Amino acid sequence: MPFLLSQNYFTCIRLFCPIVSKIVGNYNSLATQAAPDDEGMADEFLNQILATYRNAPNSSKERCNAYVHKLCKAGNLSTAIRLLQSLRDNNIFIPNAYNTLLAAAAERNQIDLSFRIFKDLLVFHGPLTLTCYLKLARSCADTNDCTALIRYVKQVSDLAFPNNMIVINRIIFAFGECRQIEKALLVFNQIKGFGCKPNVITYNTILDILGRAGRVDEMVLEFSSMKEAGFVPDFVTYNTLLNNLRRVGRLDMCLVFFREMDDRGVEPDLLTYREMIEAFGRSGNTGEALRLFNDMKQRKIRPSIYIYRSLVDILKKAGKVDLAMSISQEMNSSTSDLFGSKDFKRKRILDMRSRAKGQASTMNNGVNWLN
């Protein structure tokens, strides 16, 4: 009896293998068509994926990615989204194929399709990379339909609840990165309509967007609104203000916010001091540059060799040669204790690791937020 069972088993295997081989062969053929723009061909491809996915998920995903790429290259995005959503309805979700399609939709400024893809990724894939948000923002570059844009963002916000503010912050940031400032401000001003509450990250993002655009007066007004709303500015807030005001030469306001920073117990770091000292020195205000330098040392912030060199150069140009020599001697006598290039590299690596850990923590906390 066992022998007969074994014979039957291998007979079935011999009969089944040619069928699978034929399916996979047809599957490969369809996936490599030069112009896969026929609806019937897409339906056949879908059926073949459904037939082979359980036994060969990885190869099925790879072939699907290739097929979607060719559909996008041929400009047949509607067939691609129909295929992917049909697979999704059969509990097969292929993020890489969605990302390929999102990139193609963004290139063609197809905002409707981009939001459809983005919503699927958000719901079925979970927390998304910054690249996805940037692609979404790029797809909106040519639209002037503010009503439609807000409607789409509201839909995304509803899907992302209770983590919708994380998603909204990233959408605002992405618009800023793509230089679509008015759209970033539009979304920001509609936050309450989404049933959300802004946070310090939201305000810091808006302040940076306005500052980098040179709209520092609006940035300062928004900062005042932030405080009036009861939010406590942090280190990032003040550095954003100082950096952007310094770039446009508003050093008077830099001093105001630098002092406010100190009054609120938010301590500036070495890079903050370096930028402030160099800015005042280049403007000819060597007195303020020296005051900041001494203030930094009193706070026991380890000076850098770059600050010393910059200060020496500033004093020489101002004709204060004796003072420059004194600072130079101080630098030479304490070279081993100064913050150098290796320290800056180490600090940059540590800062990057710290930010990465923070981002990972945020992502991990939200892994299952839509399940």
User: Which CATH number fits the domain that encloses residue 285?
Assistant: 1.25.40.10
274 and 314 share one domain: yes
- In a domain? residue 56: yes
Residue 340's pLDDT band, with cuts at 50, 70 and 90, is low
Q: What is the reported pLDDT for 336?
A: 60
Q: How far apart are CA 43 and CA 86, in angstroms?
A: 10
Q: How far apart are CA 65 and CA 218, in angstroms?
A: 45
Domain end position, chosen among 144, 166, 198: 198
- Averaged pLDDT for residues 94-114: 96
Q: What is the reported pLDDT for 334?
A: 73
- Residue pLDDT, tens place only, 167-218: 999 999 999 999 999 999 999 999 989 989 999 999 999 999 999 999 999 9
128 and 75 share one domain: no
Our count of domains for the chain comes to 3
- In a domain? residue 293: yes
- Range(s) of the domain holding residue 190: 108-198
72 and 133 share one domain: no
- Averaged pLDDT for residues 327-346: 68
- In a domain? residue 273: yes
- Averaged pLDDT for residues 157-165: 93
296 and 328 share one domain: yes
How much of the chain exceeds pLDDT 70, in percent? Answer: 80
Residue 361 burial (10 A CB sphere; 0-12, 13-18, 19+): exposed
76 and 151 share one domain: no
Domain end position, chosen among 176, 198, 220: 198
190 and 130 share one domain: yes
- Whether the predicted pLDDT of 314 surpasses 70: yes
Among residues 233, 234, 236, the alpha carbon closest in space to that of 223 is found at 233
- Whether the predicted pLDDT of 117 surpasses 80: yes
- In a domain? residue 164: yes
119 and 165 share one domain: yes
28 and 82 share one domain: yes
116 and 189 share one domain: yes
Among residues 45, 32, 131, 46, the alpha carbon closest in space to that of 92 is found at 46
Q: How far is CA 24 from CA 29, 38, 52, 363, in A?
A: 9, 20, 8, 37
Among residues 110, 107, 52, 46, the alpha carbon closest in space to that of 78 is found at 110
Q: How far is CA 101 from CA 95, 187, 188, 246, 337, in A?
A: 10, 25, 28, 42, 54
Lowest mean pLDDT among 46-60, 202-216, 305-319, 344-358: 344-358
- Residue pLDDT, tens place only, 214-249: 999 999 999 999 999 999 999 999 999 999 999 999
- Whether the predicted pLDDT of 28 surpasses 70: no
How much of the chain exceeds pLDDT 90, in percent? Answer: 68
- In a domain? residue 369: no
- In a domain? residue 371: no
> pTM for this one?
0.80
- In a domain? residue 241: no
Domain end position, chosen among 171, 198, 225: 198
66 and 125 share one domain: no
- In a domain? residue 322: yes
- Whether the predicted pLDDT of 29 surpasses 50: no
